């Protein structure tokens, strides 16, 4: 098999790539990298040779001799490499820009603030309690979701955009999963909820769920 995805079941960035691979209908080998056990396998030499940023996901495409990090770049790569009828990024320039913007609202402005290493630094360097850390993570998700919910009022259909499932939905669904982990009150976000529910009816999203991965644990 030529494609390998190094990821972690609960990592939202890995979850995005799993959805994209499933939507494109591409077979891949999933290689778990446990972010907590063994001091965090993302820090082990074997893995940092592939990804010196100590983060998942990493995609290796042996046929093309390419190794990629950054989930959004990986998704764009997959969309172009497997140029089938299922487009994750629309052809039209304006739609493409809007999809990327919404994806970045999540991947650049929400997720990094709740990343494991950020939460660990709050505890380790600034004496934050587990409760403080959970409030911190929920705060940034809510701030981001407040803006996204308003934006969706003017553009959403069944999915984030009225045309079809795109990279924006691929980013939204894992972030909703993460929001629930941090007890964000999702009743405040009816559109986000509706879109996530619609996406989760699709096989590609179901298969990509954290609990359906080989490395899922309680
Ligand atoms: N911008 C990166 C973010 C990657 C990232 O933050 N990965 C997290 C899991 S979602 C991670 O590996 N965290 C490990 C750590 O913080 O030590 C992407 O989209 O791929």
Per residue in 90-138, pLDDT tens? 999 999 999 999 999 999 999 999 999 999 999 999 999 999 999 999 9
> In angstroms, what is the span from residue 201 Cα to ligand 1's centroid?
26
Q: Who lines ligand 1 at CB under 6 A?
A: 11-13, 35, 40, 42, 54-57, 70-72, 107, 115-117
> In angstroms, what is the span from residue 71 Cα to ligand 1's centroid?
9
Mean pLDDT of the chain: 96
Q: Kindly report, residue by residue over 161-170, the tens digit of the pLDDT.
A: 987 999 999 9
Cα separation, 69 vs 120, whole angstroms: 22
Query: pLDDT category, 60, cuts 50, 70, 90?
Result: very high
> In angstroms, what is the span from residue 120 Cα to ligand 1's centroid?
13
Atom nearest to 74 CA in ligand 1: 20
State residue 162's pLDDT score. Answer: 82
Nearest CA to ligand 1 atom 17: 117
Cα separation, 29 vs 18, whole angstroms: 11
Q: What is the pTM of this model?
A: 0.97
Atom nearest to 11 CA in ligand 1: 10
In the chain, % of residues over pLDDT 90:
94
Q: How many CA atoms lie within 13 A of 133 on its CB side?
A: 18
Q: Kindly report, residue by residue over 6-32, the tens digit of the pLDDT.
A: 999 999 999 999 999 999 999 999 999
> In angstroms, what is the span from residue 202 Cα to ligand 1's centroid?
25
State residue 218's pLDDT score. Answer: 64
- In the predicted model, what is the mean pLDDT of residues 80-93? 91
Q: Please, are residues 32 and 9 in contact by the beta-carbon 8 Å criterion?
A: yes
Nearest CA to ligand 1 atom 9: 11
Nearest CA to ligand 1 atom 13: 55
Within a 10 A sphere around the Cβ of 32, how many other Cβ atoms? 18
Ligand 1 test: best mutation among 56, 108, 141, most atoms within 8 Å of CB? 56
In the chain, % of residues over pLDDT 70:
99
Atom nearest to 33 CA in ligand 1: 12
Taken in order of first residue, the domains within the chain and their CATH numbers are 3-86 (3.40.30.10), 93-205 (1.20.1050.10)
pLDDT at 1 over 70: no
> In angstroms, what is the span from residue 185 Cα to ligand 1's centroid?
24
Cα separation, 151 vs 132, whole angstroms: 29
Pick from 1, 46, 13, 21: nearest CA to 173? 13
Atom nearest to 56 CA in ligand 1: 12
Please state the length of the chain: 218
State residue 84's pLDDT score. Answer: 78
State residue 76's pLDDT score. Answer: 97
DSSP string, the chain: --EEEEE-TT-HHHHHHHHHHHHHT---EEEE--SSGGG-GGGSHHHHTT-TT--S-EEEEGGGTEEE-SHHHHHHHHHHHS-SS--SS-SSHHHHHHHHHHHHHHHTTTGGGG-HHHHHHHHHHH---HHHHHHHHHHHHHHHHHHHHHHHHHH-SSSSSSS---HHHHHHHHHHHHHHHTT--GGG-HHHHHHHHHHHTSHHHHHHSGGGSTT---
pLDDT at 155 over 90: no
């Amino acid at each position: 098999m030529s494609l390998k995805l190094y990821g972690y079941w609960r990592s939202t960035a890995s979850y995005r790539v799993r959805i994209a691979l499933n939507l494109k209908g591409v077979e891949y080998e999933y290689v778990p990298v446990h972010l907590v056990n063994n001091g965090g396998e993302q820090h082990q030499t074997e893995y940092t040779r592939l990804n010196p940023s100590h983060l998942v996901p990493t995609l290796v495409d042996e046929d093309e001799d390419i190794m990629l990090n950054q989930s959004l770049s990986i998704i764009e790569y997959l969309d172009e490499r497997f140029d089938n009828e299922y487009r994750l990024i629309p052809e039209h320039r304006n739609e493409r820009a809007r999809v990327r913007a919404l994806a970045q609202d999540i991947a650049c402005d929400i997720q990094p603030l709740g990343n494991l290493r950020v939460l660990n630094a709050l505890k380790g360097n600034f004496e934050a309690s587990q409760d403080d850390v959970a409030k911190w993570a929920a705060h940034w998700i809510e701030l981001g979701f407040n803006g996204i919910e308003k934006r969706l009022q003017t553009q959403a259909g069944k999915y984030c955009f009225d045309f079809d499932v795109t990279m924006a939905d691929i980013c939204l669904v894992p972030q909703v999963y993460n929001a629930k982990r941090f007890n964000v009150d999702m009743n405040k976000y009816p559109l986000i909820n509706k879109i996530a529910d619609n996406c989760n009816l699709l096989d590609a999203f179901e298969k990509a769920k954290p609990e359906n991965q080989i490395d899922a644990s309680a």
